[in-house]
Copies of this chain bind each other. A is one copy, B any other.
Amino acid sequence: MTRPLELHPDRLFPADPTTRDIARTLYAEIGALPIVSPHGHTDPTWFATDAKWDNATTLLLAPDHYVFRMLYSQGIALDDLRIPHRGGVPGTYPRAAWKLFASHYELFRGTPSRLWLDHVFAEVFGFDVRLDADTADLYFDTITDRLAGDDFRPRALFDRFRIDFLATTEGAHDSLDAHHAIRASGWKGRVVTTYRPDGVIDVEHEQFKGAMETFAALTGEDVYSWSGYLAAHRKRRADFRAAGATATDHGHATAQTANLSTAECEALFAKIVGGTWDAADAELFRAQMLTEMAKMSVADGMVMQIHPGSYRNHNAGLFASHGRDKGADIPVRTEYTRALQPMLDVVGNERDLTIILFTLDESVYARELAPMAGHYPCLKLGPAWWFHDSPEGMRRYRELTTETAGFYNTVGFNDDTRAFLSIPARHDVARRVDCAFLARLVAEHRIEDWEALELAHELTDGLVRKAYKL
């Protein structure tokens, strides 16, 4: 039995009529504003080459670990979903993989993936029936068809999605060729990079050695001396700024920072590059580098983003067979109050510095992050992240942070995605959930309706532009 697919205009608004009406009114004002996406993981070569995507499985299933992790958790083999492994792409037909996914689509009930995918299906591809085993072929054929049209090339979709700003993320050892090609092409879309130096900071990363070699080659600095290493960071930050970047990003295991003397830094760095480090040295080096990056941000004005708390590659067997980013990163408890203090001792009272904090540990929202962001001039709160980029997650974020940090110490929404087609869907969910939250404050007479409207604009557009210096 084929079921109709319709996106309800009131979706994600509270059922109470008074509150829903307020939410509707707010959303009517901001729902269609252009998209500002200051943090994400789309591939810049898409916009550099503007090449067509080929089919639904390659575009929507294979790169989306939110989706295939859920299927895997229910005993479905990744090979049957045509998820690439270290040896290459499995021989499964794309259509067969798609059909397998479609026939288990009920697994996503109640998840944000379901909301995003339905939005993509209805709004981007125009489907009016739901995805299931019966409609799998229709979906696969229609999507393949559409992707063959020029109006589904990356740049055309970028315009259609009304994206005003899109940041990607590249390593310190990235050539930035794709970004240079975008600029050279004369295309007007604003796609910029973000400086993510983890590869040359985290000595426990398997690519550290190679990344350092490229880092040396790209900068011409002696990256194996402490001063040369710092100079290389400064050069690359300048390269990234020249390519449009306004921000850096740091994905560390913990939020630990340090404040070592130069002599201590030199001794530590010698161990790191000399290969005589242990796990505590590796952690201390990452900690010290957050402070170094903060100091460089004071100097060059780049906004700093800290994303700690994910235990990467938790599933050892899967990492061996399939490598990174396969849905097996699991959050851990994360401490911020003590961890950030060494860095804040150095830069905490800087008014022109912006450090944006993210977390996967919601227990710190009200306890640690909101009190710090509600005091330190340099600190702002990033939006609900990763597993918490969801209706309930965003609601908890506002409920747990607003009373202590206010709205103005937050920075709008990040879609944080490599799933390009879902970007409008993700921003739409965030806008709806924010309108619902503001509507409740109005309905409970905690703020006035005109204040909620101002805030809706700030949460959608104003705060992100200010925080990321756009």
Contacts and interface: CB of A to CB of B under 8 A. Distances in A.
Interface of A: 3, 8, 10-19, 69-70, 72-75, 106-112, 114-115, 311, 314-318, 327-333, 335, 337-338, 341, 344-345, 348-349, 351, 360-363, 366-368, 370-377, 379, 387-388, 390-393, 399-400, 402-409, 440-441, 443-448, 450-451, 454-455
Given A15-B440, A332-B338, A363-B367, A409 B73 contact: yes
Contact of A377 (B73, B115, B368): B73
Given A12-B444, A17-B18, A110-B407, 14 more contacts: A3-B450, A10-B445, A15-B19, A69-B374, A106-B454, A109-B455, A110-B447, A315-B348, A316-B345, A331-B368, A360-B367, A392-B400, A392-B403, A393-B403
A11 B72 CA distance: 38
A399 B373 CA distance: 26
10 contacts: A10-B444, A69-B375, A111-B402, A111-B403, A112-B403, A114-B446, A317-B348, A330-B368, A391-B403, A392-B400
Contact of A361 (B17, B329, B367, B405): B367
Nearest to A69: B375
B344 A406 contact: no
A339 to B, nearest CB: 11
A387 B371 contact: yes
Contact of A406 (B10, B14, B107): B107
A368 B12 contact: no
Max chain B Cβ within 10 angstroms of own Cβ: one of A17, A314, A379: A314
Contacts of A373: 73
A464 to B, nearest CB: 16
Contacts of A114: 446-447
A341 B317 CA distance: 11
Contacts of A337: 311, 314, 330-332
